[in-house]
Amino acid sequence: MIRLIFLFVVLGAGLFIGTQYSGQQGYVLISIANTTIEMSVTTLVIFIIGALAALFALEFVVKKFFYMSFNTWNWFSIRKLRRSRRYTNQAIIKLLEGDWKQAEKKVTRWASHHDMPLLCYLVASEAANGMGDRKKRDHYLELAAKQENATLAVELTRAKQQIGDGEYDKATQTLDSLQRQHPDNTIILNLLKQTYLHNKEWQPLLDLLPKLVKAKRLTETEAEKLTLTAQCGALEAIASQKGTEGLLAHWNGLARKLKAEPALVTALIQQLIKRKADNEAFTLIKENLKKQATPELYALIPELNLSDRYPAIVMLKEALRRDARNAEAHSAIGQLYVREQEWKQAQEHLEQALSLRSNVSDYAYLADALQHQNLTHAAHDVTRKALSLLEAN
């Protein structure tokens, strides 16, 4: 527009001057080396205006040419990008459907033309992993890692694949490194929960649970169950490493709320029995039965290797005096009488226990007690009931 205005101004000025000096065209001589050019002033002005017009026209044509070339190139690029996106979308659907081969084929075909190659290579890696081709899987992850801002997505994908392969130690290393950079990432926290559970890393799991609750990846109820699992696992690990003294020291250091959990008390007593600390275990059973009469604690009494079973029998008789329908107490005292070879009394209590609920072990102990009283037929009947119960389960 400016150039057109300039041409019109020059042309107008020429026409004005031309009318003012009509008949007085003047004389112009241009000499270059041995060549001379003669013309009137009017001719020179017209020539200059024409040259400018031609120059502007040439500029317009050249720009138009390059503009058309750019549009043509841009059209082809956009076409390739759209095709790449379409193939990537189809590949993601195939990946979700489990068609690994088609997913890999579609996503890699136009990956170089995609505006986010990272997505293409991650999808290809998952497809290769689904086919069990670890070499291709890792190759695609390497290509993905070369893209901009790819670390988090690539390493999360790698950790999931490591967990899928059962390489929990490697996955833990990968995730621990990521957590230092992204401490509140919920996917990292959830994957760490899986690896800690599998590797029985109880203290790191206990430290992780509040973060999972805060991130709403676990409910309070789920966190409490996992806490008990971790605490029971920790008791076993400490018992193996530090023995009975270390186990009891750890127990004394726990919060009162945890020490009141029946499952945790049971786990502690079981570990004490394994360590042949039966007297300590019996003391804990007595203390906890006074607080809460749980069936699991009664069931542990026959497992104790006590030099004198009389205090345990007295305690169980007292429990039955308070509640004659306590099946677990009947079962426990019946098993103790079997060990004492008091067959008649063992029979009475085991029959009482079985009248209240079915139990394969009690049927076996009852059959033994009957056999020792030469009640062979009755013992066979009880054995058949035990076998039918086993088959039903």
pLDDT string in tens for the chain (393-residue length): 565 565 566 556 655 555 555 555 566 666 776 777 776 666 766 777 777 777 777 777 777 666 665 545 554 456 666 787 888 888 888 888 989 899 888 888 877 777 788 888 899 999 999 999 999 999 999 999 999 889 999 999 999 999 999 999 999 999 999 999 999 899 999 999 999 999 999 999 999 999 999 988 899 999 999 999 999 999 999 999 999 999 999 999 999 889 989 999 999 999 999 999 999 999 999 999 988 888 999 999 999 998 899 999 999 999 999 999 999 999 999 999 999 999 999 999 999 999 999 999 999 999 999 999 999 898 898 888 888 887 776
Decide if 318 is inside a domain.
Answer: yes
Is the CA virtual torsion 257, 258, 264, 270 positive or negative? negative
Residues 299, 266 contacting (CB under 8 angstroms):
no
293-318: burial string, b at 16+ Cβ within 10 Å, e else: ebeebbbbbbebeeeebeebbebbee
Cα atoms in the Cβ-side hemisphere of radius 13 Å centred on 132: 0
Decide if 38 is inside a domain.
Answer: no
What HEC string does 85-101 produce? HHHHHHHHHHHHHCCHH
Decide if 67 is inside a domain.
Answer: no
- CA–CA distance, 110 with 83 (Å, rounded to integer): 8
Domain coverage including residue 332: 308-393
- CA–CA distance, 357 with 375 (Å, rounded to integer): 23
Same domain, 317 and 392: yes
Same domain, 321 and 368: yes
Cα atoms in the Cβ-side hemisphere of radius 13 Å centred on 376: 1
Decide if 192 is inside a domain.
Answer: no
221-236: burial string, b at 16+ Cβ within 10 Å, e else: eeeeebbbebbbbbbb
State which of 232, 267, 283 marks the end of a domain. Answer: 283
Decide if 45 is inside a domain.
Answer: no
Decide if 370 is inside a domain.
Answer: yes
DSSP 333-363: HHHHHHHTT-HHHHHHHHHHHHHHS--HHHH
- CA–CA distance, 175 with 168 (Å, rounded to integer): 10
State which of 228, 250, 283 marks the end of a domain. Answer: 283
Decide if 104 is inside a domain.
Answer: no
What HEC string does 160-211 produce? HHHHHCCCHHHHHHHHHHHHHHCCCCHHHHHHHHHHHHHHCCHHHHHHHHHH
Beta strands in the chain (DSSP E): 28-32, 35-39
User: Could you tell me how far CA 111 lies from the centroid of its own chain?
Assistant: 27
Same domain, 328 and 381: yes
Decide if 22 is inside a domain.
Answer: no
Same domain, 266 and 337: no
Same domain, 250 and 316: no
- CA–CA distance, 126 with 130 (Å, rounded to integer): 6
Same domain, 325 and 380: yes
Q: Show Cβ contacts of residue 319 under 8 Å, excluding neighbours closer than 6 positions.
A: 289, 293, 298, 326, 329
CATH number at residue 345: 1.25.40.10
Same domain, 279 and 326: no
Number of Cβ within a 10 Å radius of residue 110: 18
What integer pLDDT is reported at residue 139 of this predicted model? 92
Same domain, 315 and 389: yes
| DSSP secondary structure letter of residue 34 | T
What's the structural domain count of the chain? 2
- Global pTM exceeds 0.85: no
What integer pLDDT is reported at residue 231 of this predicted model? 94
What integer pLDDT is reported at residue 23 of this predicted model? 53
Which is it for strands 28-32 and 35-39: parallel, antiparallel or unpaired?
A: antiparallel
Residues 20, 42 contacting (CB under 8 angstroms):
no
Same domain, 223 and 275: yes
User: Could you tell me how far CA 17 lies from the centroid of its own chain?
Assistant: 86
What integer pLDDT is reported at residue 87 of this predicted model? 80
Could you give the angle at the alpha carbon of 233 between the alpha carbons of 166 and 176, nearest 5°? 45
